[in-house]
Chain A
Amino acid sequence: MAIIRTNVLICAGSACVSSRAYDFKTALLEALEEAGIKEEVNVVDTGCIGTCDLGPVAIVYPDGIFYVHLKPEDAKVIVNEHLLKGRVVNRLLYQQPMTKEVFPSLSEIDFIVRQKRIVLRNMGVIDPESIEEYIAKEGYQALAKALTMSPEDVIDTVKKSGLRGRGGAGFPTGLKWELTRKATGNPKYVICNGDEGDPGAFMDRSVLEGDPHSIIEGMMIAGYAVGASKGFFYVRAEYPLAIKRIENALEQARSYGLIGENILGTDFSFDIELRRGSGAFVCGEETALIASIEGGRGEPRPRPPYPANRGLWDSPTVINNVETLANISPIILNGAEWFSSTGTEKSKGTKVFALAGKVNNTGLIEVPFGTTLGEIIFDVGGGIPGGKKFKAAQTGGPSGGCIPAEYLDLPIDYESLKQIGAIVGSGGLIIMDEDTCMVDVARFFLEFTQSESCGKCPPCRVGTRKMLDILERIVNGEGEEGDIERLIELGEEIRRDSLCGLGQTAPNPVLSTIRFFRDEYEAHIREKRCPAKSCRALIAYQVIPDKCRGCGICARVCPVGAAQGKPREIYHIDTGLCIKCGDCFAKCPFGAIEKADLVLEKV
């Protein structure tokens, strides 16, 4: 048998798969065959490396060379140059977007260097479809260790670690387990919440796809700790790859006897089933999720009683988020002190964020609590593209709030964000630059929660509708004096009177943008002006005569013939015809088209 001298790990996360990672893989296998070195090179799938916009991506070990934007035709070059002759293919390496510096190895790039990977420990290292590789990376060792401890000691370790729930609320995980253990009732259950309803978030999906065994192991340790012998995965049906990998992982674990009866020769027995969610946002709320597993409508019910006392089929139930569970094995293996040495006073460990929006490096990142927003944006994220100014970041998606530029140096944790009216949330992190209108951001999120309201309670159903109507008027230039006060009043009512977390948090994006960007609301209402020049109803595209060279490109791209003029003369835009698609603005080679305030145009 030939000796394997190189491993090529190809990212097989959803994003890379949809940018045709598997076509690259096929081409690579063919090229290896052709070069006669197929036996020496092991080609392996791996979980999301986090740099999804650079996909498909691959890492070549042992040197750790990181290739990006791979196309099937690149496979031959990599084989002939790198794998045969040891010459790294420079044009396929990662280039820092701001400095244009080229980095050959994954461990060197700014995006990775600044991270601390506990939850994402196996992404880019092992094959998510191989239980053996998971076991090789200490997999199921934490379970084996936990089984030698008493359930109380396991709970105590998790309590001392300071781990808090990553699903949004930040409830201490050890305490939740203790309450469930002490609750009377049998059988008990463990649920993994993989509903991930925050639009634009993909942390949980990536972990489920990239390291499914780590979640299974976390669920089993939770089961042992609380005295449950049955667990459920609840994953939205729109995550087919995650579902496939979980099912594969469950089958492997079962065939190895790692789930089933008398695990590792002990009295502990545990089995896990997978349930698909319909994808409604409210189904991520724990009581709605439980109702949905029971086969009922996914609607929330009042708490208390909490699931720890009365959960699935009225039995005591631990429900934890995917990321929470991914932290369990490392905590058991390395101890509570090891975990609590990372983070801040009350927020221990790391947080995974889906970094998106106006930032150079988007993707999946994991940083210690206490990292500042500025470090995330400028060190990990590589700064704001196009030399634009940072304006604010939205955390917690539709339940969260914004963090304005004056808080760039604020260390991020549960407490600090709560103080300024934002939340850590489940990990959506959207970066916005000066071109973003904060009123429109609030409208966007409220539109989402409004449409996702299950309608069971009137404050949420009717209240969010009223707020949305006001916001729509404001961005259309029809805002009235008193609208801001009405929004605040409605927001506080909805917060107070709604049944579940969806309604209770729905006004947050509005209230938080009013808190920090009230002047933008006022400009829309009083002057009918959008300071970010983003709201279509309040802007006009116009030609800057001094800059126009009469090239006629704007007239060619305009879909409605609103950009008019004669070649080599100064063009103009007919505001009456213009549908504000912005195509001319984007295409003018001389930057001769600007967005102006519509009001000024009229005068």
Chain B
Amino acid sequence: MKSLEDLKRIREQAQAQIKLRTQEANTKIIVGMGTCGIAAGARETLMAILDELSKRNIQDVVVTQTGCVGLCEYEPLVNVVKPGQPKITYMKVTPERARQIVASHIVNDQIINEWVLSTEEGA
């Protein structure tokens, strides 16, 4: 390392590595991962979301999981919580739907109404 620029470069590279521990969570995406969720393909959905976020280099979104919520026939379920907005629950989220949710809801703030199962105020 010979200069400030070198240090900056290493820093930017390394920040991705610790991002999960330090980021301030603005938006949260929560994937239902109960037994039937997993059977319905929730893991593929989760991975598609992570892949899409990383392709688009979106930094301030936290992706977590939750257990069974008792709505098995609508699985895989995905919740999106944006600050100051109601919690949106999407149903039957295939990997393809998941990518579109990221593109539309996360990036452009456009909720995809036809897949919405429920909307919960104050979440």
Interface: B38 (CB within 8 A): yes
Interface size class of B (residues with CB under 8 A): 35 or more
Interface segment out of the listed A84-92, A374-382, A387-395: A84-92
Q: Are B63 and A5 in contact (CB under 8 A)?
A: yes
From known contacts A85-B34, A86-B65, infer whether A126 and B18 are also in contact, taking CB-CB under 8 Å: yes
Contact digits for B19-35, partner A, Cβ 8 Å, 1 yes 0 no: 01111010000111111
B65's closest neighbor in chain A, by CB? A86
A257-B63 Cα distance, complex, nearest whole Å: 37
Q: Are A132 and B51 in contact (CB under 8 A)?
A: no
Interface segment out of the listed A136-144, A277-285, A546-554: A136-144
Q: Are A6 and B20 in contact (CB under 8 A)?
A: yes
From known contacts A141-B7, A258-B1, A264-B3, infer whether A87 and B67 are also in contact, taking CB-CB under 8 Å: yes
A4's closest neighbor in chain B, by CB? B20
Q: Are A257 and B46 in contact (CB under 8 A)?
A: no
Q: Are B13 and A86 in contact (CB under 8 A)?
A: no
A132-B30 Cα distance, complex, nearest whole Å: 30
Q: Are A85 and B47 in contact (CB under 8 A)?
A: no
Of B3, B10, B22, B65, which contacts A85 at CB under 8 A?
B65
Chain A residues with Cβ below 8 Å from B15 are: 136
A144-B5 Cα distance, complex, nearest whole Å: 10
Q: Are B22 and A137 in contact (CB under 8 A)?
A: yes
Chain A residues with Cβ below 8 Å from B67 are: 85-87
Q: Are A136 and B20 in contact (CB under 8 A)?
A: no
A255-B98 Cα distance, complex, nearest whole Å: 43
Q: Are B17 and A132 in contact (CB under 8 A)?
A: yes
A126-B17 Cα distance, complex, nearest whole Å: 10
A84-B47 Cα distance, complex, nearest whole Å: 12
From known contacts A61-B20, A62-B23, A125-B22, infer whether A132 and B3 are also in contact, taking CB-CB under 8 Å: no
Q: Are A265 and B18 in contact (CB under 8 A)?
A: no
For window 4-62 of B, CB contacts with A under 8 Å fall at 4, 6-7, 10-11, 13-15, 17-18, 20-23, 25, 30-35, 38, 46-47, 50-51, 54, 62
From known contacts A62-B25, A264-B7, infer whether A137 and B18 are also in contact, taking CB-CB under 8 Å: yes
Q: Are B64 and A125 in contact (CB under 8 A)?
A: no
Chain A residues with Cβ below 8 Å from B47 are: 2-3, 40
Chain B residues with Cβ below 8 Å from A258 are: 1
For window 62-121 of B, CB contacts with A under 8 Å fall at 62-67
Q: Are B54 and A62 in contact (CB under 8 A)?
A: no
From known contacts A61-B21, A62-B62, infer whether A133 and B14 are also in contact, taking CB-CB under 8 Å: yes
Q: Are A86 and B51 in contact (CB under 8 A)?
A: no
Interface: A77 (CB within 8 A): no
For window 8-57 of A, CB contacts with B under 8 Å fall at 9, 40, 42
For window 119-154 of A, CB contacts with B under 8 Å fall at 125-126, 132-133, 135-141, 144
- State the Cβ distance, A329 to closest chain B Cβ, in Å: 14
- State the Cβ distance, B100 to closest chain A Cβ, in Å: 18
From known contacts A63-B64, A86-B65, A136-B17, infer whether A5 and B33 are also in contact, taking CB-CB under 8 Å: no
Of A3, A42, A61, A133, which contacts B51 at CB under 8 A?
A3
A83's closest neighbor in chain B, by CB? B65
Interface: A256 (CB within 8 A): yes
A252-B23 Cα distance, complex, nearest whole Å: 26
From known contacts A133-B18, A136-B14, A136-B18, infer whether A62 and B64 are also in contact, taking CB-CB under 8 Å: yes
Chain A residues with Cβ below 8 Å from B63 are: 5, 62
Interface: A7 (CB within 8 A): yes
Chain A residues with Cβ below 8 Å from B50 are: 3, 5
- State the Cβ distance, A144 to closest chain B Cβ, in Å: 5
A137-B17 Cα distance, complex, nearest whole Å: 11
Chain A residues with Cβ below 8 Å from B11 are: 135-136, 138-139, 141
Q: Are B1 and A257 in contact (CB under 8 A)?
A: yes
Chain B residues with Cβ below 8 Å from A3 are: 47, 50-51, 54
Most chain A CB within a 10 A radius of its CB, from B13, B25, B64: B64
B23's closest neighbor in chain A, by CB? A62
Most chain B CB within a 10 A radius of its CB, from A132, A136, A137: A136
Q: Are B1 and A256 in contact (CB under 8 A)?
A: yes
Q: Are B54 and A84 in contact (CB under 8 A)?
A: no
Q: Are B3 and A265 in contact (CB under 8 A)?
A: yes
A559-B18 Cα distance, complex, nearest whole Å: 55
Q: Are A9 and B21 in contact (CB under 8 A)?
A: yes
A3-B33 Cα distance, complex, nearest whole Å: 18
Chain B residues with Cβ below 8 Å from A61 are: 20-21
Q: Are B33 and A264 in contact (CB under 8 A)?
A: no
- State the Cβ distance, A354 to closest chain B Cβ, in Å: 25
- State the Cβ distance, B4 to closest chain A Cβ, in Å: 5
- State the Cβ distance, B106 to closest chain A Cβ, in Å: 15
- State the Cβ distance, A216 to closest chain B Cβ, in Å: 14
Chain A residues with Cβ below 8 Å from B64 are: 62-63, 86
Q: Are A135 and B14 in contact (CB under 8 A)?
A: yes
Q: Which residues of A contact B (CB under 8 A)?
A: 2-7, 9, 40, 42, 59, 61-63, 84-87, 125-126, 132-133, 135-141, 144, 256-258, 264-265
Sorted nearest first, the 6 A-B pairs with minimum C-beta distance are: A86-B65, A136-B14, A87-B67, A132-B14, A3-B50, A86-B33
Q: List 16 A-B contacts (CB under 8 A).
A: A7-B18, A86-B32, A86-B33, A86-B64, A87-B67, A125-B21, A126-B21, A132-B13, A135-B7, A135-B11, A136-B15, A138-B11, A257-B1, A257-B2, A264-B2, A265-B2
Q: Which residues of B contact A (CB under 8 A)?
A: 1-4, 6-7, 10-11, 13-15, 17-18, 20-23, 25, 30-35, 38, 46-47, 50-51, 54, 62-67
